[in-house]
Amino acid sequence: MLTCPEPAENPVLWPGGAKREEDGQLSFAGQKVTELAQRFGTPSYLFDLDDFAARAKTIASAMAEEFWEGYGFSGANVYYAGKAFLCTALGEAITKAGMGIDTASLGELTVALNPAMGADPQKIGLHGNNKSRECLRLALRSGIGRIIVDSLNEIDLLQSLSESENTTPPVMVRVTTGVHAGGHSFIATAHEDQKFGLSLASGAALEAVEKIIAAPNLKLVGLHSHIGSQIKDLASFQVAAERLLAFRAQVQRLGEAVPEVDLGGGLAISYQGEEVPTASEYARSLAASVKKACEQAGTDIPHISIEPGRWLAGPVCVSLYQVGTVKDVQLEDGSIRKYVSVDGGMSDNIRPALYDAGYVATLASRVSDAPAASCRVVGMHCESGDILVPEIALPADIRAGDLLVIPATGAYGRAMASNYNLVPRPGVVGLSRKASPRYIVARETVDDLLRLDIGAVGLSQ
């Protein structure tokens, strides 16, 4: 039966500031879960801002070390992929680490450009396979550092918008390298039969490059590849780097410099205590791949950038729930499964239902000597598939009022939350050893939902 490792046993799974206190409670950045639950309610996302800042520094310095000038590189930039979870409270950590921000919608771009974020527009990128005119216009007017074009249509649109805005934006081409990597097929993004990027194999990538070169208002600054997400196998990045850098050599033969290559995000994190590559291992393998691929292609080494999202936000946050109903259900083989219902579910974490993503859960408000029981942690939604953890060992005396924690929910948790069953989305509580906890994203209320429900307004008879 799957068990949840304690913070002391397996720190990779937990935020840096996680601890089991002497009274049996879990604490995060020195804050005990019962106090947090009392003050902020449940469910809540508990987000360790100190750990986020530490991870930002770790990955930025791992990349700087491996892509050091002395080794023949010209440094490397890290762009935080805001789709994993973006709010202005992250700005300080991002800018202090010298990172940029990668955005993929008007909303993300607007948050990234918010002065409260403190980000330099030059260090903001914009992705998207179907960017709106409004979003592209904002990108042009705010002078962001890179627009990553994803289709031939977009090149025409961007050229005409740039001409009317009288600007010459730096653009990169999102190249589909044909490498299939990552967990679920929904999150793999560089195989051929999917919506992202311009294919190397079909020649669309080359056509895009030629179109950009011919476009008077567009400036080609680089090539981009993102092969998927939650990738544990570093060899996939190697193949993608080889293909992308060989393509760069081809583009250079057209007389273009192509100063930058972005190898995307996709670094895996631990969800259940499993081992994953460290930031240094990832950076070292990437640097070796880049060097080898440039040697093979007979070119100079471009400036490299990457776009991790999950790796930064995922492990620094846990979901805090309160147990309500506990129900013993007899299975066909006669055994008993305890259904432990919590006060959130698929609306605050859609990943198990959408991708079969595995998580673990632990009793957070106390420890217990009761024997382990086979439990299924389920949410409160009207769906039998509203399962957060299909099978996990929890103490047999688990009961209403207990607090449960699910680790590693910072990436694609709040970011993908919904209002299914008209459930308000939980708030994100920012934790730091240097200050008292406070919301960094407020809890939604039923009033927030009602505000959007404007009634029949004259449509009814």
Binding positions for substrate: 310, 351, 355, 383, 412
Judged by CB under 6 A, the stretch of 159-167, 198-206, 251-259, 409-417 that binds ligand LLP is 409-417
Whether the link from the prior residue into 43 is cis, omega within 30° of 0, is yes
> What single-letter amino acid sits at 117?
M
Judged by CB under 6 A, the stretch of 77-85, 332-340, 341-349, 370-378 that binds ligand LLP is 77-85
Q: Is 60 in the site for ligand LLP (CB under 6 A)?
A: no
User: Among 32, 146, 243, 351, which residue interacts with ligand LLP (rule: CB under 6 A)?
Assistant: 351
Q: Is 412 in the site for ligand LLP (CB under 6 A)?
A: yes
Q: Which residues have C-beta within 8 Å of that of residue 49, sequence separation ≥ 6?
A: 29, 89, 90, 93, 316, 430, 431, 432, 440
Q: Is 86 in the site for ligand LLP (CB under 6 A)?
A: no
Q: Is 144 in the site for ligand LLP (CB under 6 A)?
A: no
| 8 Å CB contact between 126 and 108 | no
From the CB of residue 441, how many other CB atoms can be counted at a distance below 10 Å? Answer: 19
- Side-chain-facing half-sphere of 204: CA atoms under 13 Å: 20
Q: Is 66 in the site for ligand LLP (CB under 6 A)?
A: no
> What single-letter amino acid sits at 267?
L
Task: Convert 51-89 to b/e letters by CB count within 10 Å (16 or more is b).
Answer: bbbbbbbbbbbbbbebbeeeeebeebbbbbbbbbbbbbb
From the CB of residue 381, how many other CB atoms can be counted at a distance below 10 Å? Answer: 17
Q: Is 187 in the site for ligand LLP (CB under 6 A)?
A: yes
Judged by CB under 6 A, the stretch of 115-123, 285-293, 306-314, 322-330 that binds ligand LLP is 306-314
Give the dihedral sign, CA 197/240/228/139.
negative
Q: How far is the CB of 72 from ligand LLP (least distance, A)?
A: 26
Question: For residue 400, what are the CA distances in angstroms to 4, 322, 340, 343, 371?
Answer: 20, 8, 9, 11, 18
29 or 63: CB nearest ligand LLP: 63
Active site residue 382: yes
Q: Is 267 in the site for ligand LLP (CB under 6 A)?
A: yes
SS3 35: helix
User: Among 76, 78, 81, 97, which residue interacts with ligand LLP (rule: CB under 6 A)?
Assistant: 81
Q: Is 260 in the site for ligand LLP (CB under 6 A)?
A: no
Judged by CB under 6 A, the stretch of 48-56, 80-88, 278-286, 395-403 that binds ligand LLP is 80-88
- Enzyme catalytic residues: 382
**Chain contacts with ligand LLP (rule: CB under 6 A):** 81, 83-84, 102, 127, 187, 189, 226, 229-230, 264-267, 307-311, 351, 355, 411-412, 416
